[in-house]
Amino acid sequence: MARRINRVLITGAGGRIGGMLRTQLRGRYERLILSDIIPLKDIQPGEDVVTVDLKDGEAVRRACRDVDAIIHCGGNPRESPWPEILEPNIIGSINVWEAARHEGVDRVVYASSNHAIAFTRRSEMLDHRSAHRPDCRYGLSKAFMEDLAFLYAYKYGVRGFGMRIGSFTPRPVDARALSTWISPRDMVQLVSVGLTADYIHEIVFGISRNKRAWWDNSNAYRLGYDPQDEAETYADEVGHIVGDDPIAEEFQGSRFVSMEFTADPNDVP
């Protein structure tokens, strides 16, 4: 049985998703411990702040002391050269799960990405059991994170809740987002499911209840996720906004696929 969650660490608390979760989860838990590589300001009651570089394993472990759950949003959120992916996304994730293991943290609710599986044509439907198909170095780091979480869940008992986040914006911005969008309030609800549900390790998709979704999110619904928003509401506004790059428009990962693409797209299985 899952234990009660009182103290929650948010890594990447200065980022877009982490910062939004900081404000929306404030007051729901005994303490929010906010971590980022840059100093955070405007500290509110119930918040503690620690400045941590995720590549520093000892600093990460100190931040995890007396923590019940981690919301792991830290790391490099964009496609970058290998050195800029390796330390924050791979070494940093290893440090987070190692700290969780040694400090007795119950669970890690973590920001994976659709880019872990998005080297897939838009005509295909995927679910939580679909194999990794990373479309870039960033996506590969997220695929690694999912496997890392699986290992620590089943070998060390650190629960893992991986959210393959689609397009996190206040509202959809183009035709692709009609399939991939997640609203801020649905993001909060999905994280809350990760903090309260009873599981060992699960993969879910971070999307709202989108009619055009490429991803079957029944595993999230099974765990209690009930998204309130629907991208189709904005179809008349953004449905005509498409790119002119045929590779980006063929695959679910869009421009993350087409960046540096030099192979034959017909060879992609």
Q: Where do the DSSP E strands lie in 37-103?
A: 47-51, 69-72
Do the beta carbons of residue 190 and residue 220 sit within 8 Å?
Answer: yes
Query: Which single residue is written with the structure tokens 């790391």?
Result: 75
Q: How far apart are CA 206 and CA 185, in angstroms?
A: 12
**Residues belonging to the active site:** 138
- What residues pair up with 204 in beta bridges, in sequence order? 163
Torsional class of 200: left (φ above 0), alpha (ψ -120 to 50), beta (otherwise): alpha
Question: Quick one: which of 7, 39, 204 has its CA closest to 111?
Answer: 204
- What residues pair up with 58 in beta bridges, in sequence order? none
Q: How far apart are CA 174 and CA 176, in angstroms?
A: 6
Question: Quick one: which of 159, 229, 191 has its CA closest to 29?
Answer: 191
Q: How far apart are CA 85 and CA 43, in angstroms?
A: 29
